[in-house]
Structure 1
Amino acid sequence: MNDSSDLDALSFKGRRGLARILDATGYSLAGLRAAYQGEAAFRQLVWLNLVLLPLAGLVDVSRAERALLVIVPLLALVVELLNSAIEAVVDRISLNLHPLSKQAKDMGSAAQMVALLMIALTWAIILL
């Protein structure tokens, strides 16, 4: 038996063309807004990107190196969005402490740590 949320999801998936693109864009912007408003780590990464991305345009490096200097910090934003989504789903299921909930959150945090290490290593290798 379908509840109303199942029906809403099915009707969204049935949309095609420009209407679906516009809907998806709205949902994506809402997700970015929610992440910026509700996640301090995401805000910090946005500000880090606002420093690093223009800086990547100023340093004297090859086009491929510049691409890496831009892509890696943006990738950290993607990882943080996914980490925040995992945390939200785990918290939605239950706020009770559970080993699997802790494991999921810890893995998301580890992914973000690796992304931050990628930023540091990429910038260090290219600029030093």
Structure 2
Amino acid sequence: MRALAVEHSDEYREIIFTASLLTFQGGVTVPGCAASRGGIGRLTMAFANGWADKGVNVNAIAPGYISTDNTEALRSDPDRTAAILSRIPAGRWGQPEEFGGPAAFLASDASSYVLSEFSLSGR
């Protein structure tokens, strides 16, 4: 993969993965998801460290609680929703369209000195 990234670095300079806050927090009820997201986080860091000198920026957007079909069960449970929202300073669920700005930033030259994870968590 490194060879491909370096070979195409004149055309494509940014790699953006989707991680999760589970990357950093773990997950009591979803250990498999937490482990896979943790792997994405460490892979992102390894690639970012290994390819920065080749002009390839590697980042991961790590969303928190986002209002999607995947979180419908949580959002439908008033007690869980209240507990979740109490931990989010913005006091609301994130929206999928809020990924666009951070993704555009990470894909632009404005982020040329930004490497690794980018939290999108209402904090």
Q: TM-score, normalised by structure 2?
A: 0.29
Flag the structure with larger Rg.
Answer: 1
Identify, as 1 or 2, the structure richer in strand: 2
Q: Which has the higher contact order (CA 8 A, sep 6+)?
A: 2
Identify, as 1 or 2, the structure richer in helix: 1
Q: TM-score, normalised by structure 1?
A: 0.28
